[in-house]
Amino acid sequence: MMPRAFGFCGLTICLLSWGGMAAAQGPGSENAPPPTAPPVPQGVEVLARGPVHEAFATPTTAPTPTQLVPKAPPKPLEEMPPDQKPEGNVVWIGGYWAWDDDRHDFLWVSGVWRSAPPGKTWVAGYWREADGKWQWVPGFWTEALHEGEPTQQLTYYPSPPPPPETAAPGEPPTPDSFYIPGVWYWAGDHYAWRAGYWGRVQPGYVWVAAHYRWTPSGYVFIPGYWDLTVARRGVLYAPVVVDPNVVGVTFVYTPYYAVQDTFLVDALWVRPSYGCYYFGDYYGPAYHDLGFESYVVYSRRCYDPIFVYERWDHRRDPNWVSVQVNLYNARYRGEAPLPPRTLVQQTTIVNINRTTTINNTRVIMPASQLAAAQGQRLVPVDRAQQWQIRQQAQAVQQVALQRSQMEVAAPGGVPQRPRAATLQVPPNLPRGNPVNSSFAASGANRPGMNPARPAYRPPYRPAPGPSRPAPSRPDPRERDKDRDHH
Q: HEC string of the chain?
A: CCCCCCCCCCHHHHHHHCCCHHHHHCCCCCCCCCCCCCCCCCCEEEECCEECCCCCCCCCCCCCCCCEECCCCCCCCEECCCCEEECCCCEEECCEEEEECCCCEEEEECCEEECCCCCEEEECCEEEEECCEEEEECCEEEECCCCCCCEEEEEEECCCCCCCCCCCCCCCCCCCEEEECCEEEECCCCEEEECCEEEECCCCEEEECCEEEEECCEEEEECCEEEECHHHCEEEECCEEECHHHHCCCCEECCCEEECHHHHCCCEEEECCCCEEEECCCCCHHHHHCCCEEHHHHCCCCCCHHHHHHHHHCCCCCCHHHHHHHHHHHHHCCCCCCCCCEHHHHHHHHHHHCCCCCCCCCCEEEHHHHHHHHCCCEEECCHHHHHHHHHHHHHHHHHHHHHHHHCCCCCCCCCCCCEEEEEECCCCCCCCCCCCCCCCCCCCCCCCCCCCCCCCCCCCCCCCCCCCCCCCCCCHHHHHHHHHCC
Whether 5 is in a domain gets the answer no
Mean pLDDT computed over 438-451:
40
Residue pair 157/212 in contact by the 8 Å Cβ criterion: yes
Residue 331 neighbours by CB distance under 10 Å: 20
Residue pair 266/259 in contact by the 8 Å Cβ criterion: no
Mean pLDDT computed over 108-134:
95
pTM value > 0.85? no
Percent of all residues in the chain with a pLDDT value above 70, rounded to a whole number: 77
Q: How far is CA 342 from CA 90, 229, 261, 362, in A?
A: 28, 26, 17, 11
Residue 466: pLDDT band with limits 50, 70, 90: very low
Query: Does 461 have pLDDT greater than 80?
Result: no
pLDDT at 211: 97
Per the structure, how many domains does the chain have?
1
Whether 479 is in a domain gets the answer no
Whether 183 is in a domain gets the answer no
Residue pair 352/8 in contact by the 8 Å Cβ criterion: yes
Spatial CA neighbour of 206 closest among 130, 126, 118, 122:
118
pLDDT at 166: 87
Mean pLDDT computed over 229-236:
96
Which residues form the domain of 314?
A: 11-145+204-424
Give the range among 176-190, 232-246, 255-269, 460-474 with minimum mean pLDDT. 460-474
Counting Cα atoms < 13 Å in the Cβ hemisphere of 98 gives 27
281-336 confidence digits (pLDDT tens)? 999 999 999 999 999 999 999 999 999 999 999 999 999 999 999 999 999 999 99
Q: How far is CA 313 from CA 175, 293, 327, 370, in A?
A: 11, 22, 19, 21
Q: Nearest 5°: CA angle at 105, between 100 and 111?
A: 60
Query: Does 468 have pLDDT greater than 60?
Result: no
387-433 confidence digits (pLDDT tens)? 999 998 988 999 999 999 999 887 777 778 999 999 887 766 666 66
In the sheet with 268-271, reading across from the earlier edge strand, the strands are 50-51, 276-279, 268-271, 293-294
Query: Does 215 have pLDDT greater than 70?
Result: yes
Give the range among 196-200, 238-242, 396-400, 471-475 with minimum mean pLDDT. 471-475
Whether 40 is in a domain gets the answer yes
Longest dimension (CA), the chain: 70
Whether 3 is in a domain gets the answer no
32-49 confidence digits (pLDDT tens)? 555 567 789 999 999 999
Residue 13: pLDDT band with limits 50, 70, 90: very low
Task: Decide which of 31 and 141 is more confident.
Answer: 141
Residue 63: pLDDT band with limits 50, 70, 90: very high
Query: Does 109 have pLDDT greater than 60?
Result: yes
Whether 158 is in a domain gets the answer no
Query: Does 470 have pLDDT greater than 70?
Result: no
Task: Decide which of 322 and 486 is more confident.
Answer: 322
The rounded distance, in Å, linking the Cα atoms of 238 and 263 is 12
Helical packing angle, 320-332 and 305-313, nearest 10°: 120
pLDDT at 485: 40
Whether 197 is in a domain gets the answer no
pLDDT at 362: 84
Q: Compute the CA torsion angle 165, 171, 177, 178 (nearest 10 deg).
A: 30
Residue 287 neighbours by CB distance under 10 Å: 18
369-387 confidence digits (pLDDT tens)? 999 988 889 999 999 999 9
Mean pLDDT computed over 438-465:
38
pLDDT at 7: 35
Whether 107 is in a domain gets the answer yes
pLDDT at 25: 43
